Amino acid sequence: MKKTNLSEHSGTFPKAGKYKVGIVVSEWNPAVTDALKDGAISSLLEYGVSEQNIAVHSVPGSFELPLGAAMLFDADEELDGVICLGCVIQGETRHFEFISQAVASGAMKVGLDYGSPVIFGVLTCDTLEQALDRSGGKHGNKGVEAAYTVLKMIELQRKLK
């Protein structure tokens, strides 16, 4: 099976000069989440978001990401969207399932409640190696994908208004 860079995409790149984006990142698994954050920030800058329009805040773990996203929207009415970045790695118990489902559902709920894009950039992997492969390794960087996605969703929201 050929290994590919999962972060490659063929869509048009948004012009994001005036967009304001929040990033909330889990402190758990920092080797992975810091790389996701770096990928997201560098992509946002590449797409034209100014550094002062990127607000980065951390939360203790992935479970806290949805509440962190809601807090960002409450703190800044001009925020266009939020990227949630984290990493949950399968262990020996069912904890992985509960956390992964709660974070995915919570991020979707925040987006629906606030009517703004909230992007699920959380890796849910079986091993640390898989997580590293998806946070700047041979499978790309999910943070890059999350940045592209939030900008495309902001663009769609603005187009429809």
For the chain, the farthest-separated pair of C-alpha atoms sits apart, in whole angstroms, at: 47
pLDDT digits (tens, 9 = 90+) for 14-71: 677 899 999 999 999 999 999 999 999 999 999 999 999 999 999 999 999 999 999 9
Please give the structure tokens belonging to residue 128: 């640390």
Instruction: Parse the chain into domains and list their residue ranges.
Output: 39-49+62-160
Residue 78: which pLDDT band, with cuts at 50, 70 and 90? very high
3-class state of residue 112 by DSSP: helix
pLDDT of residue 4 exceeding 70, the answer is: no
pLDDT of residue 135 exceeding 80, the answer is: yes
- Beta bridge partners, 83, equal 23, 119
Distance CA 159, CA 16 (A): 13
Please give the structure tokens belonging to residue 21: 């984006």
Residue 115's pLDDT is 97
Residue 1's pLDDT is 40
31 or 2, greater pLDDT: 31
| pTM, full prediction | 0.93
Q: Which residues are known catalytic residues? A: 95
Percent of the chain clearing pLDDT 90 (strictly above): 84
pLDDT of residue 5 exceeding 80, the answer is: no
Residue 22's pLDDT is 98
Average pLDDT over residues 110-117: 98
Residue 2's pLDDT is 46
Instruction: Pick one of 3.30.565.10, 3.40.50.300, 3.40.50.960, 3.40.50.150 as the CATH number of 39-49+62-160.
Output: 3.40.50.960
pLDDT of residue 98 exceeding 90, the answer is: yes
